[in-house]
Amino acid sequence: MQLTGAPMFLVWMGLLSWASSRVDASEGFPSPLKRCKLQDEACLVAQAQTFFQAFKNGIPERQVAALEPIALGTLLIESGGHSDSLKFKLTMSDAKLYNLANSMMFKSLKGFTKDLTRPLKLTLLLDNPELEVRAKYDVDGKLLILPIVSKGDLTIRMNDVHTKVRITAEPVKRSDGHTYLNITDYKTATKIKGGHFDLSNLFNDNKELRDSTLKVLNQEWSTLALDVQPKINEACSRAFRVIVQHLWANIPYDEFFEEE
């Protein structure tokens, strides 16, 4: 049967309406996340905790990367002169952060507001009893008078990690009439009680030299951390900026919260 005149017009209008709704429709928060009231920090903290527990494998359809482990990419680290006895250039490739989603404890999430005339300044506080970074390493340096030139596997264990995250997000109004958040800055700062380095293939796995060198390196943890910790923080900031931005990408800010 051929459609003509008014019936055909109605079909086209229906198709256009459907297409428009597909383009402008909000994806909303993925289940099991739920909306909170703007000032209900306890609810916001609970939902942040739920996000890490429920989406360890990421959300592929929204381009949200996996949270366990978190891919950190390549880290280039050079000793900053904090110790005369330890100097090095270290490349960590294919670095990944483990145990964040499994042990994350959110403590605070502040900064959401109804005022969209200025950027949002969000602050998150969270704790982890233990985190682990694994990577391939390439190091060129010296410990005391002993040269260290090696490649292999690197593991860094960090204990009792306290993290503060600061996010700046710019409200942006789109053609659909809704306002969305665009992250313009993401900073991570950490305090770590202690840690431990383990490197395979040191001195071609000569056990005596390897063990004695690792012992000294771990005794110098606090000095090493001055160079290594900021680079890990920067890599985490880069990774999480992308993760959060993809989560927020198609959710209007006015749909973030329940009505008061």
CATH number, domain of 105, equals 3.15.10.30
Residue 157 contacts residue 196 (beta carbons within 8 Å): yes
Q: Is residue 17 part of a domain?
A: no
CA distance 16 to 6: 15
Residue 64 contacts residue 247 (beta carbons within 8 Å): yes
What digits encode the pLDDT tens for the residues 84-139?
Answer: 778 889 999 999 999 999 999 999 999 999 999 999 999 999 999 999 999 999 99
Residue closest to 90 by CA, chosen among 149, 158, 156: 149
For residue 25, pLDDT over 60 is answered with no
State the total domains in the chain: 1
Q: Is residue 94 part of a domain?
A: yes
Q: Is residue 5 part of a domain?
A: no
SS3 68: coil
DSSP one-letter string for 134-187: EEEEEEEEEETTEEEEEEEEEEEEEEEEEEEEEEEEEEEE-TTS-EEEEEEEEE
Q: Is residue 241 part of a domain?
A: yes
Q: Is residue 16 part of a domain?
A: no
What digits encode the pLDDT tens for the residues 141-188?
Answer: 887 778 888 999 999 999 999 999 999 999 999 999 999 999 999 999
What digits encode the pLDDT tens for the residues 125-153?
Answer: 999 999 999 999 999 988 777 888 899 99
Q: Is residue 81 part of a domain?
A: yes
Q: Is residue 6 part of a domain?
A: no
Which structure tokens are listed for 133? 């970074």
Report pTM. 0.85
Tell me the residue range of the domain where 94 lies: 27-255
Q: Is residue 170 part of a domain?
A: yes
